[in-house]
Amino acid sequence: MHIKKYNDTHRAGLIALWESSFPNNPEHDEPNLMLDMKQKVDDLIFVAIENGNISGSCIAGFDGHRGYLYSVAVSQNSRNSGVGKKLVTHAIEELKQLGCLKVNLHIRPTNTEVAEFYKSLGFEIEERICMGKLI
């Protein structure tokens, strides 16, 4: 398994992974839109490649103060094999190189399995109210 920065040759495989991993995503998280918008800002999109196929993904963001992880996904066949841990660790290392001191992420409250995964990587639940607004 190799982790690489995303390029457009990965688009179809990454979209397929996201569509299977996030079937109920809202319209503003449509994969083509997300990829196009993210690439206008930076190149912090990482993919895990196994046997020529995308087995995982992680988007990182950095606002100069905090880092963020988004769209961390692992294909059904590669779950519990270390792909997610390697992707998250890789993204955090990339953020550290940019001067990031803290990484945040959001998890849907019903996704308790993923919460346990992040706890195993040292993340802690912070008491916050997360708010958003479509513009």
Q: Are strands 103-105 and 67-74 parallel, antiparallel or unpaired?
A: parallel
Residue range 107-117: average pLDDT? 89
Mean pLDDT for the chain overall: 94
Nearest alpha-carbon partner for 48 in 94, 93, 13, 100: 13
Give domain 2-120's CATH architecture: 3-Layer(aba) Sandwich (3.40)
Instruction: Provide the pLDDT for residue 108.
Output: 85
Check pLDDT > 90 for residue 19.
yes
Check pLDDT > 90 for residue 112.
no
- Please list the alpha-helical segments (H only) found in 1-135: 11-21, 31-41, 83-97, 112-120
Check pLDDT > 90 for residue 110.
no
Q: pTM for the complete prediction?
A: 0.92
Report how far apart the first and last C-alpha atoms of the chain are (Å, whole number): 39
Instruction: Provide the pLDDT for residue 85.
Output: 97
For 28-70, write each residue's pLDDT tens digit. 889 999 999 999 999 999 999 999 999 999 999 999 999 999 9
Instruction: Provide the pLDDT for residue 70.
Output: 94
Q: How confident is the model at residue 111 (pLDDT cuts 50, 70, 90)?
A: confident
Instruction: Provide the pLDDT for residue 83.
Output: 97
